[in-house]
Amino acid sequence: MTALDLGAFDRPILICGGAYGNLPALEALAAFQRRAGIQDSHVIHTGDAVAYCANTEAATQFIASRGWHAIKGNVEEQIAAGAADCGCGFEEGSACDVASARWYAHAVATLSADSKAWMAGLPSHLTFEMSGVRAAVVHGSFRQTNRFMWASLPEAEFTSELDASGSDLMIAGHTGIPFTRQIGNRCWHNSGALGMPANDGTQRVWVSVISPADRGVAITHHALTFEAAPAAAAIRRDGLPAGYADGLETGLWPSLDILPAVERIATGKALELDARTFTFTRQAIAAE
Protein backbone atom coordinates (compact mmCIF):
# COMPACT_ATOMS: atom_id res chain seq x y z
CA MET A 1 0.00 0.00 0.00
CA THR A 2 1.43 3.35 -1.04
CA ALA A 3 0.34 6.65 0.44
CA LEU A 4 0.91 10.28 -0.46
CA ASP A 5 0.49 13.16 1.99
CA LEU A 6 -0.76 16.33 0.31
CA GLY A 7 -0.10 18.53 3.34
CA ALA A 8 -2.55 21.21 4.46
CA PHE A 9 -5.26 22.83 2.33
CA ASP A 10 -6.58 26.28 3.19
CA ARG A 11 -8.88 26.60 0.16
CA PRO A 12 -11.75 24.44 -1.16
CA ILE A 13 -11.00 21.12 -2.81
CA LEU A 14 -13.13 19.31 -5.38
CA ILE A 15 -13.75 15.58 -4.83
CA CYS A 16 -14.79 13.24 -7.62
CA GLY A 17 -14.45 9.54 -8.36
CA GLY A 18 -15.54 6.80 -10.69
CA ALA A 19 -15.08 8.67 -13.96
CA TYR A 20 -15.63 5.25 -15.62
CA GLY A 21 -14.41 6.38 -19.04
CA ASN A 22 -17.26 8.89 -19.34
CA LEU A 23 -15.69 11.81 -21.22
CA PRO A 24 -18.81 14.06 -21.34
CA ALA A 25 -19.12 13.78 -17.55
CA LEU A 26 -15.47 14.78 -17.13
CA GLU A 27 -16.09 17.78 -19.38
CA ALA A 28 -19.06 18.75 -17.19
CA LEU A 29 -16.83 18.42 -14.14
CA ALA A 30 -14.17 20.69 -15.64
CA ALA A 31 -16.85 23.30 -16.36
CA PHE A 32 -18.06 23.09 -12.77
CA GLN A 33 -14.46 23.42 -11.57
CA ARG A 34 -14.01 26.61 -13.60
CA ARG A 35 -17.24 28.10 -12.26
CA ALA A 36 -16.21 27.26 -8.71
CA GLY A 37 -12.75 28.75 -9.20
CA ILE A 38 -10.98 25.62 -7.97
CA GLN A 39 -7.39 25.04 -9.10
CA ASP A 40 -6.23 21.78 -10.66
CA SER A 41 -3.99 21.23 -7.63
CA HIS A 42 -7.14 21.14 -5.50
CA VAL A 43 -8.98 18.37 -7.39
CA ILE A 44 -8.93 14.76 -6.15
CA HIS A 45 -10.18 11.69 -8.05
CA THR A 46 -10.88 8.66 -5.84
CA GLY A 47 -10.21 5.95 -8.41
CA ASP A 48 -11.73 3.93 -11.28
CA ALA A 49 -10.94 6.37 -14.07
CA VAL A 50 -12.23 3.73 -16.49
CA ALA A 51 -14.97 1.11 -16.32
CA TYR A 52 -18.44 0.99 -17.88
CA CYS A 53 -18.10 3.68 -20.53
CA ALA A 54 -16.18 3.57 -23.79
CA ASN A 55 -13.85 6.61 -23.85
CA THR A 56 -11.15 4.95 -21.78
CA GLU A 57 -8.02 6.57 -23.20
CA ALA A 58 -9.49 10.06 -23.56
CA ALA A 59 -10.94 9.97 -20.04
CA THR A 60 -7.70 8.75 -18.48
CA GLN A 61 -5.65 11.41 -20.20
CA PHE A 62 -8.24 14.04 -19.29
CA ILE A 63 -7.48 13.35 -15.62
CA ALA A 64 -3.75 12.71 -15.98
CA SER A 65 -2.98 15.78 -18.09
CA ARG A 66 -4.53 18.27 -15.68
CA GLY A 67 -2.37 17.51 -12.70
CA TRP A 68 -5.35 16.49 -10.59
CA HIS A 69 -4.54 14.30 -7.62
CA ALA A 70 -5.71 10.72 -8.04
CA ILE A 71 -5.46 7.34 -6.38
CA LYS A 72 -5.73 3.80 -7.65
CA GLY A 73 -9.17 2.27 -7.67
CA ASN A 74 -9.46 -1.47 -8.04
CA VAL A 75 -9.54 -1.04 -11.83
CA GLU A 76 -6.23 0.87 -11.89
CA GLU A 77 -4.71 -1.72 -9.56
CA GLN A 78 -5.77 -4.60 -11.77
CA ILE A 79 -4.71 -2.97 -15.03
CA ALA A 80 -1.32 -2.03 -13.56
CA ALA A 81 -0.84 -5.62 -12.38
CA GLY A 82 -1.82 -7.10 -15.74
CA ALA A 83 -4.69 -8.94 -14.04
CA ALA A 84 -7.37 -10.79 -15.96
CA ASP A 85 -10.37 -9.08 -14.34
CA CYS A 86 -11.40 -5.76 -12.80
CA GLY A 87 -11.27 -6.88 -9.18
CA CYS A 88 -14.48 -4.95 -8.49
CA GLY A 89 -15.70 -7.31 -5.78
CA PHE A 90 -18.75 -8.51 -7.72
CA GLU A 91 -20.09 -11.95 -6.81
CA GLU A 92 -18.81 -14.53 -9.29
CA GLY A 93 -21.36 -15.25 -12.00
CA SER A 94 -23.55 -12.24 -11.15
CA ALA A 95 -24.81 -9.93 -13.88
CA CYS A 96 -22.25 -7.29 -12.87
CA ASP A 97 -19.45 -9.85 -12.92
CA VAL A 98 -20.37 -11.08 -16.41
CA ALA A 99 -20.68 -7.55 -17.82
CA SER A 100 -17.40 -6.46 -16.24
CA ALA A 101 -15.45 -9.00 -18.28
CA ARG A 102 -16.47 -7.13 -21.46
CA TRP A 103 -15.77 -3.58 -20.35
CA TYR A 104 -12.53 -4.55 -18.60
CA ALA A 105 -11.19 -6.25 -21.72
CA HIS A 106 -12.13 -3.16 -23.73
CA ALA A 107 -10.29 -0.90 -21.27
CA VAL A 108 -7.13 -3.01 -21.35
CA ALA A 109 -7.19 -3.10 -25.16
CA THR A 110 -7.79 0.63 -25.69
CA LEU A 111 -5.55 2.22 -23.07
CA SER A 112 -2.13 3.42 -24.20
CA ALA A 113 1.11 2.36 -22.55
CA ASP A 114 1.40 5.89 -21.13
CA SER A 115 -2.04 5.68 -19.52
CA LYS A 116 -1.28 2.28 -18.01
CA ALA A 117 2.00 3.63 -16.65
CA TRP A 118 0.17 6.59 -15.12
CA MET A 119 -2.23 4.21 -13.40
CA ALA A 120 0.63 2.09 -12.10
CA GLY A 121 2.29 5.15 -10.55
CA LEU A 122 -0.74 6.30 -8.57
CA PRO A 123 -0.78 5.97 -4.77
CA SER A 124 -3.32 3.74 -3.08
CA HIS A 125 -4.51 6.52 -0.80
CA LEU A 126 -3.94 10.18 0.06
CA THR A 127 -3.89 12.12 3.29
CA PHE A 128 -4.30 15.83 3.95
CA GLU A 129 -5.31 18.27 6.67
CA MET A 130 -7.83 21.09 6.58
CA SER A 131 -8.72 23.33 9.53
CA GLY A 132 -7.31 20.77 11.95
CA VAL A 133 -9.28 17.87 10.44
CA ARG A 134 -7.15 14.90 9.41
CA ALA A 135 -8.50 13.36 6.21
CA ALA A 136 -7.71 10.17 4.32
CA VAL A 137 -8.77 9.48 0.73
CA VAL A 138 -9.37 5.84 -0.23
CA HIS A 139 -11.23 4.02 -2.98
CA GLY A 140 -13.36 1.45 -1.16
CA SER A 141 -12.06 1.34 2.39
CA PHE A 142 -8.73 1.89 4.10
CA ARG A 143 -7.98 -1.82 4.36
CA GLN A 144 -9.53 -3.05 1.12
CA THR A 145 -9.60 -1.24 -2.21
CA ASN A 146 -12.71 -2.97 -3.55
CA ARG A 147 -14.81 -2.99 -0.39
CA PHE A 148 -18.33 -1.60 -0.77
CA MET A 149 -18.92 0.76 2.17
CA TRP A 150 -22.64 1.47 1.79
CA ALA A 151 -24.33 4.24 3.76
CA SER A 152 -26.61 1.64 5.39
CA LEU A 153 -23.80 -0.44 6.93
CA PRO A 154 -23.60 -0.71 10.73
CA GLU A 155 -21.59 2.05 12.39
CA ALA A 156 -19.02 -0.48 13.63
CA GLU A 157 -17.94 -1.16 10.04
CA PHE A 158 -17.04 2.48 9.54
CA THR A 159 -15.48 2.82 12.98
CA SER A 160 -13.09 -0.04 12.29
CA GLU A 161 -11.85 1.54 9.07
CA LEU A 162 -11.51 4.99 10.62
CA ASP A 163 -9.56 3.51 13.52
CA ALA A 164 -7.19 1.77 11.13
CA SER A 165 -6.55 4.97 9.19
CA GLY A 166 -6.12 7.28 12.16
CA SER A 167 -8.19 9.92 10.37
CA ASP A 168 -11.08 12.14 11.42
CA LEU A 169 -12.60 12.23 7.94
CA MET A 170 -12.58 9.35 5.46
CA ILE A 171 -13.25 10.22 1.82
CA ALA A 172 -14.14 7.20 -0.30
CA GLY A 173 -15.77 6.09 -3.54
CA HIS A 174 -16.49 2.70 -5.18
CA THR A 175 -20.20 2.41 -4.31
CA GLY A 176 -21.43 4.95 -6.88
CA ILE A 177 -23.94 6.54 -4.49
CA PRO A 178 -23.11 9.76 -2.60
CA PHE A 179 -23.56 10.16 1.14
CA THR A 180 -22.07 11.82 4.22
CA ARG A 181 -22.43 10.06 7.55
CA GLN A 182 -21.38 10.97 11.08
CA ILE A 183 -19.54 8.14 12.84
CA GLY A 184 -19.25 9.11 16.48
CA ASN A 185 -17.05 12.20 16.46
CA ARG A 186 -15.72 11.36 13.00
CA CYS A 187 -17.12 11.40 9.47
CA TRP A 188 -17.34 9.19 6.37
CA HIS A 189 -17.92 10.92 3.03
CA ASN A 190 -18.57 9.49 -0.43
CA SER A 191 -18.84 11.99 -3.29
CA GLY A 192 -20.66 9.46 -5.48
CA ALA A 193 -19.72 8.53 -9.04
CA LEU A 194 -18.94 10.95 -11.82
CA GLY A 195 -19.32 8.46 -14.66
CA MET A 196 -22.69 6.83 -13.94
CA PRO A 197 -25.92 8.17 -12.39
CA ALA A 198 -26.65 7.07 -8.81
CA ASN A 199 -29.56 4.70 -9.60
CA ASP A 200 -31.98 7.43 -8.59
CA GLY A 201 -33.86 7.74 -11.87
CA THR A 202 -32.13 10.95 -12.98
CA GLN A 203 -29.27 11.59 -15.39
CA ARG A 204 -27.32 13.45 -12.73
CA VAL A 205 -23.84 12.45 -11.62
CA TRP A 206 -22.17 13.54 -8.40
CA VAL A 207 -19.14 15.37 -7.00
CA SER A 208 -18.48 17.30 -3.81
CA VAL A 209 -16.57 20.30 -2.50
CA ILE A 210 -14.81 20.33 0.87
CA SER A 211 -14.07 23.79 2.26
CA PRO A 212 -12.44 25.18 5.40
CA ALA A 213 -14.95 26.09 8.09
CA ASP A 214 -14.81 27.37 11.64
CA ARG A 215 -12.81 24.71 13.52
CA GLY A 216 -13.54 22.17 10.80
CA VAL A 217 -14.69 21.60 7.23
CA ALA A 218 -17.87 22.05 5.22
CA ILE A 219 -18.79 19.24 2.81
CA THR A 220 -21.21 20.11 0.00
CA HIS A 221 -22.69 17.57 -2.43
CA HIS A 222 -23.20 18.76 -6.02
CA ALA A 223 -25.16 17.10 -8.84
CA LEU A 224 -23.91 17.63 -12.40
CA THR A 225 -25.72 17.21 -15.68
CA PHE A 226 -23.77 15.95 -18.69
CA GLU A 227 -24.34 14.97 -22.31
CA ALA A 228 -25.61 11.42 -21.80
CA ALA A 229 -26.44 10.71 -25.45
CA PRO A 230 -22.88 10.69 -26.86
CA ALA A 231 -21.57 8.71 -23.89
CA ALA A 232 -24.33 6.12 -24.38
CA ALA A 233 -23.74 6.05 -28.14
CA ALA A 234 -20.04 5.32 -27.61
CA ILE A 235 -20.91 2.35 -25.38
CA ARG A 236 -23.21 0.91 -28.05
CA ARG A 237 -20.73 1.67 -30.84
CA ASP A 238 -17.98 -0.31 -29.15
CA GLY A 239 -20.21 -3.26 -28.29
CA LEU A 240 -20.02 -2.81 -24.53
CA PRO A 241 -22.93 -3.97 -22.33
CA ALA A 242 -25.95 -1.97 -23.49
CA GLY A 243 -27.37 -1.87 -19.98
CA TYR A 244 -24.79 0.75 -19.05
CA ALA A 245 -25.79 2.90 -22.02
CA ASP A 246 -29.39 2.61 -20.88
CA GLY A 247 -28.29 3.49 -17.35
CA LEU A 248 -26.75 6.77 -18.51
CA GLU A 249 -30.04 7.72 -20.14
CA THR A 250 -32.51 6.47 -17.52
CA GLY A 251 -30.51 7.02 -14.35
CA LEU A 252 -31.17 3.40 -13.34
CA TRP A 253 -28.52 0.71 -12.97
CA PRO A 254 -28.84 -2.34 -15.23
CA SER A 255 -28.34 -4.68 -12.27
CA LEU A 256 -28.94 -4.34 -8.54
CA ASP A 257 -26.82 -7.37 -7.59
CA ILE A 258 -24.48 -5.48 -5.32
CA LEU A 259 -27.03 -3.34 -3.48
CA PRO A 260 -28.04 -3.97 0.15
CA ALA A 261 -31.76 -3.86 0.91
CA VAL A 262 -31.87 -0.21 1.98
CA GLU A 263 -30.14 1.04 -1.17
CA ARG A 264 -32.15 -1.34 -3.35
CA ILE A 265 -35.44 0.04 -2.03
CA ALA A 266 -34.27 3.56 -2.91
CA THR A 267 -33.95 2.67 -6.62
CA GLY A 268 -35.52 5.37 -8.78
CA LYS A 269 -35.98 7.86 -5.93
CA ALA A 270 -34.27 11.13 -6.80
CA LEU A 271 -31.53 12.00 -4.32
CA GLU A 272 -32.04 15.25 -2.44
CA LEU A 273 -28.40 16.06 -1.73
CA ASP A 274 -27.67 18.71 -4.34
CA ALA A 275 -26.00 21.74 -2.74
CA ARG A 276 -26.61 20.29 0.73
CA THR A 277 -23.78 21.14 3.11
CA PHE A 278 -22.55 19.14 6.11
CA THR A 279 -20.29 20.89 8.60
CA PHE A 280 -17.78 18.68 10.40
CA THR A 281 -15.76 19.90 13.38
CA ARG A 282 -14.41 16.60 14.80
CA GLN A 283 -17.03 16.91 17.53
CA ALA A 284 -20.22 16.96 15.48
CA ILE A 285 -21.61 17.08 11.97
CA ALA A 286 -24.72 19.06 11.13
CA ALA A 287 -26.63 19.31 7.85
CA GLU A 288 -27.59 22.77 6.70
Per residue in 242-272, pLDDT tens?
A: 999 999 999 999 999 889 999 999 999 999 9
pLDDT of residue 138: 98
Domain ranges of the chain: 3-287
SS3 state of residue 56? helix
**For the whole model, what pTM was predicted?**
0.96
Nearest to residue 170, comparing CAs of 154, 156, 152, 183?
183
Nearest to residue 178, comparing CAs of 47, 273, 284, 257?
273
d(CA 268, CA 246): 14
Q: How far is CA 142 from CA 2, 65, 137, 157, 165, in A?
A: 11, 27, 8, 11, 6
pLDDT > 80? residue 286:
no
Res. 1 pLDDT band, cuts 50 70 90 = low
Domain 3-287: top CATH class = alpha beta
pLDDT tens for each residue of 22-33: 999 999 999 999
